[in-house]
Amino acid sequence: MTVRLLPCGRRAVLVELDDVLGFQAALTQSPPDGVVELVPAARTLLVRFDPSMTNAERLGALLRQVSPVDSVAADAGEVVIPVVYDGEDLADVAAETGLSEASVIARHTAGTYVSAFCGFAPGFAYLTGSDPALHVPRRSSPRTRIPAGSVAIAGEYSAIYPSASPGGWRLLGRTGVPVWDVERDPPNLLPPGTRVRFTAVPS
């Protein structure tokens, strides 16, 4: 495994690698002294530390010895999301992939997804685990408003829009499950490491 370490000020190290979830799971299971926060992204993991307990050089030496573990075995639980598959882009995704609409739905519900990281908006989780046949690009022209609860795909990821916002992802359907709720503790339903399954329900 190739790991690149980059210092980020006096309190963090940025780790560049492929298996972010596995690396994060390993650090969560056995956190090095002084580590206070792990912030995952698509190909990086920001490791924040307490400079009174360690430093970038010492922590970097420890990070180079870390081996990723099974992120699914060390995850934050599983959430089942009921979806009405009537999205505006369902027919286009079927045509682009050469599948029927029923096959697109079957492939999307067959996978077990993992929340890899959150970004773009509070509660917007990038879910890995999509069937490669459903890896389609974003729309060439983003929509100005996508309703909250929209279930969408783009590239290798699936996602659920936590709130109404602009976006260019392909809309497959919708769910009534709120993935971000400030009245809930914690507000984020799908923090990194959470497994997600989609299930088709009638409208």
pLDDT tens digits along 64-103 = 889 887 655 444 578 999 999 999 999 999 999 999 999 9
- CATH number given to 78-200: 2.40.100.10
SS3 21: helix
CB contact set of 55 (below 8 Å; sequence gap of 6+)? 49
pLDDT tops 70 at residue 2: yes
Domain ranges in the chain with CATH number 3.30.1360.40: 4-63
| pLDDT at residue 133 in the model | 97
Which tokens is 2 given? Answer: 């190739």
The CA distances from residue 189 to 39, 117, 183, 199, in Å, are 17, 12, 12, 17
pLDDT digits (tens, 9 = 90+) for 10-35: 899 999 988 888 888 889 888 899 99
pLDDT tops 80 at residue 61: yes
Contact criterion met (CB below 8 Å) for 163 and 82: no
Q: Which one is predicted more confidently, 4 or 199?
A: 199
| pLDDT at residue 105 in the model | 98
Domain ranges in the chain with CATH number 2.40.100.10: 78-200
Burial class (CB within 10 angstroms; exposed 0-12, middle 13-18, buried 19+) of 21: buried
Q: How far apart are CA 82 and CA 80, in angstroms?
A: 7
CB contact set of 21 (below 8 Å; sequence gap of 6+)? 40, 68, 71, 114, 116, 128, 192, 193
Q: Does domain 4-63 bear CATH number 1.20.1630.10? A: no
